[in-house]
Amino acid sequence: MEYWARVTTENRRYLVEFPDAPGCHTFATRKSEVHPRALEALASWLEAHLAIGTVPPERVLNRRHSTEGWMRVVLPPMLAVRVAVRRARQDLGLTQSELARRVGVTKQHISQIESPNANIRMDTLDRIAEALALDVEITLRPRRESGEFVAAAG
């Protein structure tokens, strides 16, 4: 799961804003700090939504054309899973108790899976995906350089 961040300069600092994450932004003083700070801000913003039981807004921005002034930020896999499970459950109108019954676990187990801190076993994730009519796709590939952005002209 990825989000796109708009990167601009303001008073000799880089301002990073996420249009799909209202209120999520951060500053960096060096270009090398931009991506780590952006990832930290976005992860904290999403984890806060999960912790208080809300569904983070759906990511809608898709930068397929010009990436000038934009940076792609990929979520850590476990956080992406938590957000996807929460969204899918809410989209289907299921409570945690209803999903737990479908999966064969307790409501507390589903609550933990949707929280920022618990580990998820693959067999449990498979059962959750089945109950939510989702496919699980895991890709292992060499790391690409992430967080590069093309500074806007001017």
The CA-atom distances, in angstroms, between 99 and each of 46, 80, 106, 111, 115 are 21, 19, 9, 10, 15
**Is pLDDT of 135 > 80?**
yes
């459950």: which residue's tokens?
89
CB 82 within 8 A of CB 24: no
Q: What are the structural domains of the chain?
A: 2-74 (3.30.160.250), 77-131 (1.10.260.40)
Give the predicted TM-score (pTM) of the model.
Answer: 0.84
Q: How confident is the model at residue 7 (pLDDT cuts 50, 70, 90)?
A: very high
pLDDT digits (tens, 9 = 90+) for 74-88: 999 999 999 999 999
Query: Among candidates 124, 135, 41, 140, which has minimal Cα distance to 84?
Result: 135
The CA-atom distances, in angstroms, between 86 and each of 26, 101, 121 are 25, 16, 17
Q: Rounded to whole angstroms, how far apart are CA atoms 27 and 8?
A: 10
- Locate 131 and state its tokens: 């109950």
pLDDT at 118: 77
Torsion of CA 88, 93, 97, 100, to 10 degrees: -40
**Is pLDDT of 61 > 80?**
no
**Is pLDDT of 129 > 90?**
yes
pLDDT at 138: 85
